[in-house]
Amino acid sequence: MKRPNRIAGQSGHCASFRSRLSLLLANFLSGCVNRFFYIACVENASNRPILEAFHRLLFAFTEDTYAALPQRLRCRTMPHLQVAPAKLNLFLELHGTRPDGFHEIETFAVPIDYCDTIEFEPDGGNAIHLRILKDVHFDETEIIPDGEANSVCKAIRFMQRRYLETGLGGQVTLHKQIPSQAGLGGGTSDAAAMVLLIDSAWNLNIPRSELASASAELGSDVPLFIHSRPVVCRGRGELTEPIDALPPLHFAVLVPKFRLSTAVVFRQHDLMEHTPPIRVKSILEAARTGDVEKIAALLFNRLETAAFALCPELENVRKTMEQLGPLAVRMSGSGTTLFALCRNRKEAEIIAGQLKERNLGVAFAAVGGNLF
C-alpha cells in the first residue's frame, strides 16, 4: 500500500508524529464545531454554509497530510454532519391508485428551517451504533425505531449495498426534533440526509436525479428530500422536479398533540367521494412570481377532508388558527401538522406565540424555500 507523503524537511518519525497530532487536534476541534453547528443550524438553517466553510478551514493546517490519505481513511479520521429539514406540502393531490397499490400523487413541497441533525463517525467496520437524542420539546411518548429498523440505518445499508464495498459501520447520533407521524417527513428526511452525507463524505458525486430515483426504495417521500430544495413530486414520489428561484415563505406551524396514521388517512380517503382532481401548475406559477397572497389562495391538500372526518378536533384547531389572521391555513401531508402561511416573519412569530399560549401542541415559526 502506498505510504502517505512525508512532510517536506522532516524525518519520517517526526512527520508521522506531527500528522497524528494534527489529525487528533483536528478531530477534537471538529467535534466541538459539530456541537455548535447543530445548535446554530437548528436555530437558523441559513447559518449552514458559513459553518460548513469554517468546518473545512479546521483542516487547512493538515492539508498535505490529510490529502495524502486514501479516501477510505479520510472518512475515518473525522466526523460528518448533515441537517435533515422538515417539509410542508403546499399542494397535495391524488390521481387514483396505481397497479402496485400506491396512490398516484402530485405534490409541491418546501423544506423549512426546522431540522433533525445527524452526526456520523465511521470506523471502517460493519456494525452501526445508533444513539438518539430527543429535543426538549419532543413528545417522550413517541416511539422512534431503534437500531437497524431506523430509517438512518436503512439508508446506510442502502448506500453500502448499492454504491460502496467498504464497511459503513460506526457511531451515528441522531438529534431528533421533528415529530413522527405528523406530516413533516421526519423519518424520510433523516434517511435522505444520511444518503447525502455518505455521497459527500466518500466523494461519490452521484447525480441528485439518480439518488432521488434510487432512494425511493427507502420510502416514497425520500426523493423529495434528496434535492434539499422546493420540489414537485409525482408518481408515488420518485419522479422529482426541483424548483428554483422560490422566494422565502414564512409560516407558523403547529404540531397538535394528537396523531393520525398515514395508512388510515389514505384508506379513509378511498372511502369518500371527491371533486375532480386539480393540477399543481397554478400554484407553481404563483410561487415563481413570489405572489404570497396568490400562493395562499391556491394552497391545497386532498387528504384534509379524510383527516378531518377521522379527527374533527383537527378541523376545529384549523379554524382557531384561521381566526389569528394569517393568509391561509392548511394541513401538511397526511397530518396532523397544520401550517399558517403568513405575510412576513414577524407575523409568523406572533401567531406561533399565540398558538403556544393556547397550549395546542408544539408551535414554531419557520421559513421555507431554497434554504439548503
Q: Give the CA distances from residue 154 to residues 32, 147, 261, in Å, rounded to whole numbers and listed in that order.
A: 28, 9, 21
* Torsion angle of C-alpha atoms 349, 132, 151, 236, degrees rounded to 10: -10
Catalytic residue among 123, 176, 221, 244: 221
What whole-number distance in Å separates Cα of residue 177 and Cα of residue 129?
20
Tell me the backbone φ, ψ of residue 87, rounded to 5 degrees. -135, 160
Q: Give the CA distances from residue 122 to residues 129, 261, 270, 289, in Å, rounded to whole numbers and listed in that order.
A: 10, 34, 45, 44
Q: What length is written for the chain?
A: 372
Catalytic residue among 2, 87, 270, 294: 87
Q: Is 87 a catalytic residue?
A: yes
DSSP one-letter code for 343: S
Q: Residue 295's closest CA among 310, 284, 306, 311?
A: 284
**How much is the CA Rg of the chain, to the nearest whole Å?**
22
Q: Which residues pair with 251 in a beta bridge?
A: 341, 366
Cβ(138)–Cβ(76) below 8 Å: no
Would you state the cell numbers that stand for residue 330, as one nine-digit string?
A: 392548511
Q: Residue 152's closest CA among 84, 87, 74, 202?
A: 84
DSSP one-letter code for 183: S
Catalytic residues, which ones? 87, 221
